[in-house]
Structure 1
Amino acid sequence: MKTALVFGATGFIGLHLLRDLLDSPDYSRVVAVARKPLAVSDPKLTVLIGDLASLPALKPQLVADEIFIALGTTRKHTPDEAEYYKIDHDYPLLAAEIARANGARSVFLVTAVGANAASSVFYLRTKGEVERDILSLDFKHTHIFRPSMILGERDEDRPRERLIIAIWGVLNPLLIGPADRYRGLTGNDIAHAISKAARHRTGKVQMYHWREMAALLRT
């Protein structure tokens, strides 16, 4: 029976992932770090209130077999690039460093399709740099998930995003061959793929695009 440590449990993927981990018989305890109390209650669940600044003080409590990181923001919510970088790079990296020092053997990280530390695009470069830096921590197992469009209904009203998601739903079947990595998946399906990867983890480093996540969903 394992302990899971979750960052990003209030997000669109993270909330689904948290529920999957709580429902899994593989885990006797799930620790979630969040900025505010969660609207989820379960005997297995321990919620720690924290953020990037307070994370070092929480270190003694961040002991787990596996760490799941689904942290991220948007340019709309965080227009300042320096602050954006702290949330999308510095926070996941520090969380992984602490978990690794406390004995975690596996890390599961959500980034984005096209992540590349050498990219000229700030968003893709940030995602690529967090991948690179977490890989350098040398976990026994590192699983990186690179979704494209994240489909599904959000609680927040985002008219422009709803339109893009609707268009993507039409485009999805047309994205075949090498382009299939740009197919969209629902936040729920991405979470299911992550939890299944945790159950059947193999190899030291695994990278998941649409095709690999879709294959996991069929297992």
Structure 2
Amino acid sequence: MTAQKSALVFGATGLIGRQLLRELLGSPEYGQVIVVTRRDMGIKHPKLMLLVADLQSLNNIKEQLVATDVFCCLGTTRKKTPNLQDYYRVDHDYPLRAATLAKENGAKGFLFVSAVGANAGSSNFYLRIKGETERDLAAVRYKKLHIFRPSLLTGRRNEARWVERLSEGLFSIVNPLLVGGWKRYRSIPATTVAHAMYRVAQQDRNGTHIYYGNEMRNIT
């Protein structure tokens, strides 16, 4: 019988992270699921270990960041984090620090939610951050690095974001028109991204791999 794996999750309170956590807790593949969060999530489960920390206090729990697979769904918005330096810390510095500490503790796989259009040379602040984060994660040299680049995410959020609701309605019309190479820009349910992350983690594929929305939909 194959020994169960352990998972370490950052960003478990977000749209993708919440769905991913459900999959991991219900999976026979994982015997323990460690979640790092800024506050108690109010969830109880025999597999779940909750660690309360943020970027500034991450070193304090370094010895507990031990897992086979690391899932990073961290991200913020300009509304929540208007200061660009703080935004960069959340979207770049935090994932990179998490990846570095977990690898030092023996983690083999790192699965990261980026964004379609991510490019370290982009003039767009958001896409440049995502691109720089991808670049710097690759330099950590994980045995398995899986990067997921979704477009607009759909699903039920904890907070009302009317602009994204409007965008979801628009994309429901536009999606069928995005064909060929443009398929990657179609909106995608957060549940689809989370499931793709979970399934990819079960594959024995070394190296760096990038997945767009159309590829995520086909991962079973």
How high is the TM-score relative to the length of structure 1?
0.97
Instruction: State whether residues 65 and 101 of structure 2, in contact with CA within 8 Å, keep that contact through their aligned partners in structure 1.
Output: yes
Query: How far is the alpha carbon of 1:78 from its aligned partner?
Result: 0.6
Contact residue 70 and residue 107 of structure 2 kept, 8 A: yes
Q: CA RMSD in A?
A: 0.8
Query: Aligned runs of 1:37-48 on 2, under 5 Å?
Result: 37-48=40-51
Indicate the larger mover: 58-67 or 154-163. Answer: 154-163
State the alpha-carbon separation in 2 of the partners of residues 72 and 201 from structure 1. 27
- Counterparts of 1:26-105 in structure 2, within 5 Å, are 26-105=29-108
Matched residue count = 217
Q: Cα distance, 1:208 vs. partner?
A: 0.3
Cα deviation 1:131-150 (Å, max 9, x = unaligned):
00011111110000000010
Paired letter, 1:197 = V
CA separation in 2, counterparts of 1:92 and 1:69? 7
> Partner of 2:205 in structure 1?
202
- Work out which of the residue numbers 155, 169, 174 in structure 2 matches 1:171: 174
1:190 maps onto 2:193 in alignment: yes
Per the TM alignment, residue 39 of structure 1 is displaced from its structure 2 partner at its CA by 3.1
Shift of 1:153: 2.1
CA distance in 2, matches of 1:169, 1:153: 16
**Contact 2:121/2:128 (8 A) holds in 1:** yes
- In structure 2, what is the Cα distance between the partners aligned to 1:155 and 1:137? 33
Whole-Å Cα distance in 2 between the matches of residues 158 and 5 of structure 1?
A: 28
Please give the per-residue CA displacement for 1:98-156, whole angstroms capped at 9, x wherever unaligned: 00100000000001000001111110000001100011111110000000010112221
Q: 2:22 pairs with 19, 25, 31, which one?
A: 19
Within 1, Cα distance between the matches of 2:28 and 2:57? Answer: 31
CA-CA distance at 1:201 after TM superposition:
4.0
Give yes or no for contact 2:15–2:156 (8 Å, CA) kept in 1: no
* Structure 2, unaligned runs of 5 or more: none
Counterpart CA distance in 2 for 1:23 and 1:128 is 32
Amino acid of the residue matched to residue 69 of structure 1?
A: C
Between 198-207 and 40-49, the greater mean CA deviation after superposition: 198-207
Q: Compute the displacement of 1:203 (Å).
A: 3.3
The runs of at least 4 consecutive aligned structure 1 residues that moved more than 3 Å come to none
SS in 1 for 2:36: strand
Report the more deviating stretch, 94-103 or 158-167.
158-167
Q: Give 1:113's aligned residue.
A: 116
The one-character-per-residue Cα deviations of 1:54-91 (angstroms, maximum 9, x if unpaired) are 00011000011110000000011111100000000000
129, 134, 138: which one aligns with 2:137: 134
Q: Which amino acid aligns with 1:186?
A: P
Instruction: Tell me the amino acid that sits aligned with residue 164 of structure 2.
Output: E
User: What are the ranges of 5 or more consecutive residues in structure 1 without an aligned counterpart?
Assistant: none
1:197 match: secondary structure: helix
